[in-house]
Homo-oligomer: A and B are copies of this chain.
Amino acid sequence: MNISSTKPISAFSAAAAGARLGPVKIERRPVGPRDVLIEIDYCGVCHSDLHMANNDWGMSAFPMVPGHEIIGRVVSTGAEVSDLAVGKRVGVGCLVDSCRQCEACEDHLEQYCAKGFTLTYSSPTKDPGELTFGGYSKQIVVDRNYVVMVPENLDPAAASPLLCAGITTYSPLTHWKVGPGMTVGVIGLGGLGHMGVKFAHALGARVVMITTSPQKGEDARRLGADEVLVSTDAQAMAAWASKFDFLLNTIPVPHDFNVYMTLLKRDSTMCIVGAIGPIAALNTAPLIMGRRNVAGSLIGGLKETQEMLDFAGVHNITADVEVIEVAAINEAYVRMQRSDVKYRFVLDLATLS
């Protein structure tokens, strides 16, 4: 069965100036032999959607249909796809293709593809429109290799942020082997941070929420944090010096990350997943004095994204979300800019006609 989906379908397209989004009709490519046609139910609204819509990183291509936290159902599959039945609950994250041949791809770490992966939206493609179009849309056609299965026990709207915020935190937590007996700090309580707390807790670590906002403490504990460390409290910071086995830094903006480095034990790592680009002067003293590490991590590969979803299914982990109609997307962007969301907006694509 080779279904054409080239008739125009509804989507929301961004304009760079002020990140306004409005309805548009786009074309998807026909369903190829290795493809899956997905009816999109929900799509999380990632902070990077806002950056991309605003062209903050200078890499945006327009017209743009944002959205890479996609949850939907299989509508049809190409002839060579045998393991995804129609009606199956599936997800699509940040990537829809990669070279499949480099060392990273062979290691199931497509996010580090040496030749560059294809982003779910705003990336060049041979598809109609010559750009990939994301999840603020009714449908999407994706190669089977880049489609993951979503446990049916998870609420689909709340599960959608797992595809980006979830894997972005789960991947470094598991790469650095977070587990029982370890003390893990999650820095920043937003879309990424709240997932980091949930996963670190479920992985068995003692979790400390590190925040500048004492009022976030109660929420952090509800999400799974064992303790709360207010980073502006110099005495508390000193008391926690050299106590952490791992720090997950989810702060999305430039900040003085050096203040957290002395919290790490010798030979331990702070992994930055929130802020991309120059963030502050690196002070080498805490690195040299404790053989400490600063690292970064990018989303996750397809294999570990599937593992993360399976783990989330077993532990019943989803995001805390506010489901909105597509017409509210511009208002949601404004609220995101003032961090007025707990902790992720999710578009209900049933409200897109």
Q: Which residues of A contact B (CB under 8 A)?
A: 103-104, 109, 112, 114, 175, 242, 257, 266, 269, 272-273, 275-298
Residues of chain B within 8 A (CB-CB) of A242 are: 114
Nearest B residue to A274 by beta-carbon distance? B284
Are A277 and B269 within 8 A (Cβ)?
Answer: no
Residues of chain B within 8 A (CB-CB) of A288 are: 272-273, 276, 296-298
Cα(A281)–Cα(B294), bound, Å: 13
CB distance from A263 to the nearest CB of B (A): 14
Q: Given A175-B291, A291-B112, A284 and B296 touching (CB < 8 A)?
A: yes
Cα(A290)–Cα(B281), bound, Å: 20
Are A284 and B291 within 8 A (Cβ)?
Answer: no
> Quick one: which of A275, A283, A291 has the most chain B CB within 10 A?
A291
Are A294 and B291 within 8 A (Cβ)?
Answer: no
Residues of chain B within 8 A (CB-CB) of A290 are: 112, 296
Which single member of B112, B276, B279, B294 contacts A293 (CB below 8 Å)? B294
Cα(A53)–Cα(B280), bound, Å: 30
Residues of chain B within 8 A (CB-CB) of A114 are: 242
CB distance from A99 to the nearest CB of B (A): 14
Cα(A298)–Cα(B267), bound, Å: 12
> Quick one: which of A275, A286, A292, A295 has the most chain B CB within 10 A?
A295
Are A287 and B295 within 8 A (Cβ)?
Answer: yes
Cα(A175)–Cα(B284), bound, Å: 18
Cα(A291)–Cα(B300), bound, Å: 11
CB distance from A124 to the nearest CB of B (A): 18
Which single member of B276, B278, B292 contacts A281 (CB below 8 Å)? B278
Cα(A298)–Cα(B175), bound, Å: 26
> Quick one: which of A266, A279, A282 has the most chain B CB within 10 A?
A282
Nearest B residue to A241 by beta-carbon distance? B114
Are A257 and B282 within 8 A (Cβ)?
Answer: yes
List 8 additional contacts besides A112-B289, A175-B291, A288-B296; criterion CB under 8 Å: A103-B266, A257-B282, A272-B288, A277-B285, A279-B284, A280-B282, A288-B298, A289-B296
Cα(A275)–Cα(B288), bound, Å: 9
Q: Given A279-B284, A282-B282, A285-B276, A293 and B291 touching (CB < 8 A)?
A: no
Are B284 and A272 within 8 A (Cβ)?
Answer: yes
